[in-house]
Amino acid sequence: MKISEVMHRGASSVGPDAAITKIAKIMSDMDVGSIPVAENGRVIGIVTDRDIALRAVANGKDVSRLTARDIMSSKVNCCRELEDLDTAARMMERNHIRRLPVLDDNDRLVGMVSLGDVCHAASQRLTADVVKAVSAHHA
């Protein structure tokens, strides 16, 4: 099964100068836990709800002054829409992550694939391996 068959198409992204408060609002409105950060059409980072909690709020920073660039993770694991779903699942397992931006052949953001998407589509054995690895890291 290909990633393109299970991913959420049309993922939103923000620019690196987007305010954290705006990003949190987008996450709330869309009921998502991460937003890719793009510049000139290329993914350069990702902001997760965990980034907001740990890199901004828990550190006592003035959230109203922070931007995506201030707290984003610049090491972004991405996958390709035509890759096998197993590839994305193994990447999630190896890197202990729950969401991956999906890129097309031109490195443009075309969607997101989540651990939930993998769970719905993958074999029971693969799903159990990924959930176990990710859960152990976040426990």
Cβ neighbourhood burial of 65 (10 Å; 0-12, 13-18, 19+)? exposed
**pLDDT tens series, the chain, 139 aa:** 899 999 999 888 999 999 999 999 999 999 888 999 999 889 999 999 999 998 888 878 888 899 999 999 999 999 999 999 989 999 999 999 999 999 999 999 999 999 888 888 866 556 677 777 888 776 5
* Boundaries of every domain in the chain: 3-138
Query: What class is the 3-138 domain?
Result: alpha beta
The pLDDT, as a whole number, for residue 108 is 92
The pLDDT, as a whole number, for residue 139 is 57
Phi-psi region of 58 (alpha: psi -120 to 50; beta: other; left: phi over 0): alpha
Task: State the Cα–Cα distance between residues 49 and 117, nearest whole angstrom.
Answer: 19
The pLDDT, as a whole number, for residue 4 is 92
The pLDDT, as a whole number, for residue 127 is 67
Among 58, 59, 55, 60, residue whose Cα is nearest residue 71? 55
